Structure 1
Amino acid sequence: MRLRTDDATRVESTWKQYVPSAVLHDVDRQRFFFDWHSADLTGASVVRYDLAAEVRSTVQPENQFLVCRIEGPAVRIRSDRADLDASRPWISDGARVHSHWERGARVSAVVFEPTSLQRLARTISGDDTLSLHASDLSPRSASLAAAWDRMFTYLERSLAELDDHDELLRAELDRHAAAATLATFSIAGAPRRQRSAQTSPAPVTVRRALEFIAENAHRPITVDDVATAVHISTRGLQYAFRRALDTTPAERLRQARLDGAHRELRSGAPSTVSAVARRWGFSHPSRFATAYRESFGMLPSQTVAMHGR
């Protein structure tokens, strides 16, 4: 996709196609000019645009991993908790990030669907239940930040040479982008309770059920919904989980929701513990606190205190 315009409304609507939370504030329309390029991979979108104007913007990705680099004079970037180094890329999977530039900037971004990163991370780790979270918005080091920038340049040049029939090459570029991002940022899997070691790979049905749970735990799904999604009876799903993982689908769904609450409490987004608990399906605060401490070794309130809310 290519778009060149001086209409600020079109810019925001275009960006919202990729990051629905994106908002432009205080745009200087007298000096405004926008030049946008984007392309889709199998599990991610690649975006680069030049925006000439004084702009303040905010993004808060939902069900996405956004990796972004903003280049330009007097660029300032911050999360709700701290300033970010404008000379390096940053990542967010839910934390709000605010940007401000005065005379114009070039924005380079890759927007990942969570399953794209999780699929590769699970392959590398051998853990079919791994659920990712960006524990730090900044890259691990300056050298890794520079490597991510080089990856983006390679990605952009390679995509310019592809056509609609190059699906295998597009998939390889998708994997390359995901691998570089996993190496550059601290995207740790959420802690898990101890379980019996799995001596053989989980059956395809179990893996698909785990993916469905990870992607939909924030929704009011039940174990019956999980079974329906992977085309098996509820009893058959329960037997498959017990045999492959020595646990039940209900326990995995409950843990996925605890992990989601844990990520939200760590993000620093303004909310209360009880509101977070309700959003993730826990109606009894005391039961939520007990389950949370069993999984993460601390109370929800301690997680909030540690992350500065």
Structure 2
Amino acid sequence: MGELLTLASRDVGDVEETWRRFVPSASLQKVDPRTFGFSWTSAAMSGFSVVSYRLAATVQSAIEPDDQLMACRVASRGAWVGTPRGDLNAGLPWLALDGPTSARWEQQADVRAFVFDRTAAQDEARRMTGDDRFSLRSAAVRSSPVHRDQAAHWERVFQHVAGTLFAPGPGSAIIEAELRRHALHTTLAAFSPAFVAALERSAQRTAAPRTVRRAIAYMERHAHEAVTIDDVARAADISPRGLQYAFRRALDQTPTEYLRQQRLAGAHAELQQGTGATVSEISQRWGFASASRFARHYREAYGRSPSRTRRGD
């Protein structure tokens, strides 16, 4: 998924050149080339990149991502990470936003990072929180995680996002968008108390979260039934137009899109179970009157045809 890049090299210049494709400010300052080895995997899409690489060498590096937001972990014995404001805990993920961040390690390190376009990330954060004033500035984020549990969660989410995006096969714009949103939400929740506060501040979200939660719960219970968006709106105690606005504000998608995703997930699970029903029967059971439209939506979501899933291919 995304634009995949894999590279293995013993050339010191390849590391800096490759890093600068994703973080233009990256630089290697002190490299011991005697045991040098470099193995890189990344996935890039609009406004977001996932990077994972192993570098065997004693290294000091620096970044200063002015127009980017980068969350990173350097896993190495004896690693050091610091900013002009002080040293960071090298055993945890860290965030680079404004100003330089430096790292050094000996012998070998496994480096993993989420890199976001700063403007796009701020726009997305405002949609998530419903707060049009939320700003990705130094006062709103920390270089260190707010809690170890959040740091551990960030590590788990990184493995999930990277594992999905690095997998071979056709990509899905829906899945990529969801993974990008998931990575950003996890990163901001780990490093920005202001983001968490904005999520919880009901005055900023004008009751949309409660309305959206009621609508989501109703759709998840009744996705297999012939419910309409009008039914969902009534269950959530809001007008259909208000429901559209609340979903756009909170999730950046329409209620119709969310309901379709729930129905696709139900059809996907039934196809995997091998019940003996045909694709057409399953698609109709989950509310898709058009088999061709169902197949198109299914391929966009899962990267293959429903018939391949049914066969177990």
The 2-side partners of 1:187 and 1:18 are apart by 27
Map 1:216-227 onto structure 2 (within 5 A). none
**Unpaired stretches in structure 1, ≥5 consecutive residues:** 190-196, 201-309
What TM-score does the superposition give when structure 2 sets the normalisation length? Answer: 0.58
Matched with 1:170 is: 176
The structure in which a higher percent of residues are helix is 2
Q: 4+ runs of 1 displaced by more than 6 Å?
A: 197-200
Change (3 A) 1:89 1:199: closer
Matched with 2:153 is: 147
Alignment deviations for residues 131-174 of structure 1 (CA, whole Å, 9 cap, x no partner): 21243200000000000000000011111236444111111110
Change (3 A) 1:113 1:162: farther
Matched with 2:238 is: none
C-alpha contact (below 8 Å) 1:42/1:174 kept by paired residues:
no
Quote the RMSD (CA, aligned, Å).
2.1
Matched with 1:126 is: 130
The 2-side partners of 1:58 and 1:199 are apart by 38
Aligned positions, number: 193
Matched with 1:7 is: 11
Q: Does the residue aligned with 1:87 lie in a helix, a strand or coil?
A: coil
Matched with 1:295 is: none
Matched with 1:17 is: 21
Residue number among 120, 131, 144 corresponding to 1:138 in the alignment: 144
Q: Which amino acid aligns with 1:43?
A: G
Change (3 A) 1:112 1:187: farther
Map 1:1-309 onto structure 2 (within 5 A). 1-134=5-138, 135-161=141-167, 163-186=169-192, 188=194
**Unpaired stretches in structure 2, ≥5 consecutive residues:** 196-202, 207-313
The 1-side partners of 2:94 and 2:193 are apart by 12
The 2-side partners of 1:129 and 1:28 are apart by 46
Change (3 A) 1:95 1:187: farther
Change (3 A) 1:84 1:10: same
What TM-score does the superposition give when structure 1 sets the normalisation length? Answer: 0.59
Q: Which amino acid aligns with 1:95?
A: G
Once the two structures are aligned, what percentage of the paired residues are identical?
39
Change (3 A) 1:99 1:198: closer
The 2-side partners of 1:23 and 1:128 are apart by 35
The 1-side partners of 2:129 and 2:174 are apart by 24
Deviation at 1:21, TM superposition (A): 1.0
Q: Does the residue aligned with 1:31 lie in a helix, a strand or coil?
A: strand
| Structure exhibiting the larger radius of gyration computed from Cα positions | 2
Q: Which amino acid aligns with 1:94?
A: D
Matched with 1:296 is: none
Q: Which amino acid aligns with 1:157?
A: G
The 2-side partners of 1:17 and 1:141 are apart by 31
Deviation at 1:187, TM superposition (A): 6.4
